[in-house]
Structure 1
C-alpha cells in the first residue's frame, strides 16, 4: 500500500539581515522549504561591510553584547559561539572622553565598578544599581524577551505575577531619574545612561527597566568577534544554508499576496530585470515594518493606520563615517565615546524637540584596527557614528567628501572634534580614505522609516508587547521579525525575534527560550 507523502511546508522570508537569516535557519531546521529574498547583492542588511584600498570597514553594529543570546541561538543548532566565532574580550571595554576634561576614562573589563567608584560613584549605591541591573536582566530574559505575548497566560505565569509590581515601576520611571537616585556624579550618570542610545532613545525617554543594559557592558564586559559582525552574519547564513534554506540576493519584494484570509506568497522583481512569484504557506517579513505595512500589504491586511504611524517615534538617524587613517591612533580605544557637557541638549536635538545646534556632539568611534586586521600596514580604521534626527532631507553620504553638504559637514565637524578631544591635532590631514552614510541612505538601502538608523525608539509606548507584533492578526501565515517589531533593536533582539516567529508558528506561549538541540 502506497503511503501519501506530505510535501514540506514552504516559507518565504523577506530580507537577509540578521533576523531574516536567523528566521530562515530556524524554519529550515523545523522542516520548512525556505527561500530568502534579499534586495541587496549581499546578505547582512545593516551589518554590511565596505572594502577599499586595503581597508575593510563594518557599516553597522560593532558592540557584541548579550553573549548568552548568541550562545543560545547557536545551541538550537547543536553548536556554540566558540565553534562558530573567534571572540576576544576587550580591555578596556571602552574609553570615554568628557568635554572640557583633559584625560579620558577607561572602563576596564574586569573591574568596571571599582573604576566608577574612583571616578566619583558611591560604592554602595553603585553596587545596588548593578545588582538591580543584573536582576532586571534576568527578569527580562526569563519573562519578557522570549515571549510572543499572544496569550494572557504570558502575564499570568507565577514568575511574572511575582515581579509585576517591580516591572510596573521600572516601566513607568524614566531611566535618567532612576540613575540620578543612585549617583550624583554627572560623568557616572552619562556612563550609566548612554546605552539608551543603543535603544534608539534618550535616558529621559527610556523606561528605567533598561538600566539592565549596564549589566552587559559593566558587569559582563565587552567582546569582539574577529572579522567583525560580518563574521557573525556569515555564521548565521551558514546555518541557514546548511539546513537547506535558499538565499536569493538582488530580489526586491513587491507584494505579499493573500487569499481567504491567508498569506499565499510574494511577488518580487529581479535586479537584472523580470518579475517572479513564490507561493508560500508562511511569509515572514523582516523588512522595516513601515515598508511591510504600507508597501507590501494591501490596506485590508495592514495593522497600523497612517495616523498611528505619525504618532510613533522613529528613533534617531545617524551620520556614519568610515575613515582610513595614516599612522597609529593609540589615543583611541577599540570603542570610544565622546560625551558633551550638556548632553540632554543633544538628545533634544536628535529627537527634534529643538533645532540642530551643531558641534560639539556626543558621538561614538570604533577603532577595530586596535584588535583586528582591517587596515593596511601602518594605517588605522575608524568608524564614526553621530546620532542625528531622523530626517531624510539631511541627505545621503558619499566617498571622498562627495555626499550631500549637510552630511559631509557633520563628518568634517566630527573629525575635528575627535582630533581636539583625543589629542590628535593632525587627524584631518591623515585621513586617506573616507566614506559617509546619511539618513537618505538608510531609507534608500533598507527602507528605513524616515531614515532611522536603528529602528523605532524604545519608549514606554514602543517597548515589549506595545512594540510590534510577531504574528499578523489580520492575515494567517503572515509574520514579522527584526528591529522594528518585538523584542526590539540590536542584533541579539533580532535573533530573538526569529525565535519568536517559530514559537508563534508552534503555538508556544511560554516566556522561556526554546530548548537547545538535543535537550529534553
Structure 2
C-alpha cells in the first residue's frame, strides 16, 4: 500500500495516530512547528532543574498500558512508573486533606472530615468504577459520528446520568464543603464546571481514587520520548521546526501542504494541531466551522504557569498540591460565567522533586505553579507578576515557610504563549470542555465533511481533553483512515 500521510503537530494524539498508521503500513511524516516533539508536553531544563511545561498528572495508567500493548510493548520498556503515596494534598483555609494511594486511606480521611461519609463515598466510587468501565471500553472508543454511539446496553440503563450533573450527585451525598470540592475537582480536567458536567463523568473520580496518581521518573516528557522512539521504530519520520502554513485542496481532496514555504504532496492529511487553527490553513470554502461556531463553544480554561527554581526544600507539601483556600465557585464563575482575571484564584503547585530527585539539584526544589483562567484574557507581564505574588504569599502562609528569597529563577507561560507556541484558540490550555452539548458526536468531527482525505485529532475533537483521551483520539482517527483509505 505505502500511501503517504502527513501529520501536522506532534502532541499525544498525533504521536498515537502516527504509531497506529505506521503499523498499518502507511508512510508517515510528522511536521512539528517547535524544536521538540510532544506538542504541549514539553520540558524546560535550566540550572539542573527539570520542569514539565504542560501535563503533569499521570492518571488512567491502564490507557497507557493498552496503547503500548498494541505494539507488543510495555510502559516499563521505556520509563519507570511510580505510584505516588500520597496522591496529592489539598490546602483549605483552616485544614488540609491528604488523598492517600488507596481507598482505605481515603475513607479514613473522609471520616475525619465528615463522620459517616465513607459509606456514601464507597457507593459513589462503585458507580464511578462502573461508569469508567463503560466509558473506557465502550463509549470513548467510538468515533463520534452518530448519537447512536452513546446507546449501548450499558448506557441505556444510566441515561439519566447524562442529564444529571456531577455537582448535584456529589452534593446529594456529602455535606462538608471540603469533601464536595475534593470530589468535584477531577472533572476540572474535562474543562467545565461541575454543575455543567454530566454525572456520567464521575468515572474521573474512579480514575482518581480507584486507579491512583502516578509519576514517570524524569517527568511526563518521558512518555513523549517513549512514543517518539516507538514511532521511529515503526518507520515514522519527524520534522521539527517545520511550520505548516497551508493545506491545498483540489476537487474535494487535500493534495498537498506547504511546509516552511515548500509544497509537499501526500495521499492523506491529518492535523493534530489546534482544530480551529487547522481549519484556518484551508481556504474559507473548505472550512466546516465558522468563527461564530467557535465563539459560542465552551472552551476549557487557559492557564497562567510558573516554573520556579528554589535553592531550598519546600516544607509541608507533596508532589501534587491543590490550594483551595479561596472560594471554588467564585473562581469558576471568573472562568466560565463572567470571564475575567480571578480576584481570589485557586491554584495548583507541583513539586516533582519531592518524590523524584532527578528533577532538581540536591537540596533544591523544582516548583511548577498553575492558575486556571478564562481563555482569551489580556496577558501582560505586570499581570503575571501580580498573580505570582498573590500565590507565593498564599503558599508561604499555608506551609508556614518563607521561600521568596530562595528563588533562583522563575519563568512564566500564559495566554499569549499558548497562542504563539501552539496556535491555541484564545490561548486555551485544555481544548473544548466536555459539557452535555459538547460530548461525543456533538464535538468537532474527526473526518472533514468537506474534504475526502482530511482528518483531525486531539483535544477539540473526540473523546476530549486530557492525555489519555488524546491517546484514544489518535487511535480513533487512525481506524477511520484505515477504513476509508486502506
- TM tier relative to shorter chain: over 0.9
Name which of 376, 390, 394 aligns with 1:413: 390
Shift of 1:153: 6.3
- 1:366 equivalenced with 2:350 (yes/no): yes
Please name the residue that 1:107 is paired with. 99
Q: What does residue range 347-362 of structure 1 map to in structure 2 within 5 Å?
A: 347-353=332-338, 355-359=340-344, 361-362=345-346
Whole-Å separation in 2 of the counterparts to 1:485 and 1:354? 23
Q: Which runs of 5+ in 1 are unaligned?
A: 1-5, 270-274, 396-403, 509-520
Q: Indicate the SS of the match to 1:365.
A: strand
Please name the residue that 1:150 is paired with. 145
Q: Indicate the SS of the match to 2:359.
A: coil
Give the direction of change, closer, same or farther, for the CA distance of 1:254–1:417 in structure 2 (3 Å limit).
same
Name which of 139, 144, 160 aligns with 1:169: 160
- 1:77 equivalenced with 2:43 (yes/no): no
- Deviations along 1:46-96, one digit per CA (max 9) or x if unpaired, are 111111111111101111111111011101111011222200010001011
Name which of 274, 297, 300 aligns with 2:282: 297
Shift of 1:130: 0.4
The Cα RMSD (Å) is: 1.6
Q: What does residue range 262-277 of structure 1 map to in structure 2 within 5 Å?
A: 262-269=253-260, 275-277=261-263
Whole-Å separation in 1 of the counterparts to 2:48 and 2:147? 55
Shift of 1:357: 4.6
Q: Indicate the SS of the match to 2:411.
A: strand
Whole-Å separation in 1 of the counterparts to 2:73 and 2:303? 35
- Deviations along 1:102-149, one digit per CA (max 9) or x if unpaired, are x42211102223322332162221111000100111111122111113
- 1:485 equivalenced with 2:461 (yes/no): yes
Whole-Å separation in 2 of the counterparts to 1:450 and 1:152? 29
Whole-Å separation in 1 of the counterparts to 2:220 and 2:240? 19
Please name the residue that 1:181 is paired with. 172
Q: Indicate the SS of the match to 1:297.
A: coil
Whole-Å separation in 2 of the counterparts to 1:394 and 1:310? 19
Contact 1:155 1:161 in 2 (8 A): no
Contact 2:43 2:53 in 1 (8 A): yes
Q: Indicate the SS of the match to 2:349.
A: strand
Q: How many aligned residue pairs are there?
A: 480
Q: What does residue range 214-293 of structure 1 map to in structure 2 within 5 Å?
A: 214-269=205-260, 275-293=261-279
Give the direction of change, closer, same or farther, for the CA distance of 1:33–1:61 in structure 2 (3 Å limit).
same
- 1:435 equivalenced with 2:411 (yes/no): yes
Contact 1:324 1:382 in 2 (8 A): yes
Give the direction of change, closer, same or farther, for the CA distance of 1:150–1:389 in structure 2 (3 Å limit).
closer
Whole-Å separation in 2 of the counterparts to 1:165 and 1:212? 16
Please name the residue that 2:125 is paired with. 130
Whole-Å separation in 1 of the counterparts to 2:415 and 2:321? 23
Please name the residue that 2:41 is paired with. 47
Q: Indicate the SS of the match to 1:407.
A: helix
Q: Which runs of 5+ in 2 are unaligned?
A: none
Contact 1:319 1:385 in 2 (8 A): yes
* Deviates most, 195-204 or 284-293: 195-204
Please name the residue that 2:183 is paired with. 192
Q: Indicate the SS of the match to 1:209.
A: helix
Q: TM-score, normalised by structure 2?
A: 0.95
Please name the residue that 1:511 is paired with. none
Give the direction of change, closer, same or farther, for the CA distance of 1:408–1:341 in structure 2 (3 Å limit).
closer
- Deviations along 1:261-317, one digit per CA (max 9) or x if unpaired, are 122221121xxxxx2122111111011111012x21222221111211121112211
Give the direction of change, closer, same or farther, for the CA distance of 1:462–1:42 in structure 2 (3 Å limit).
same
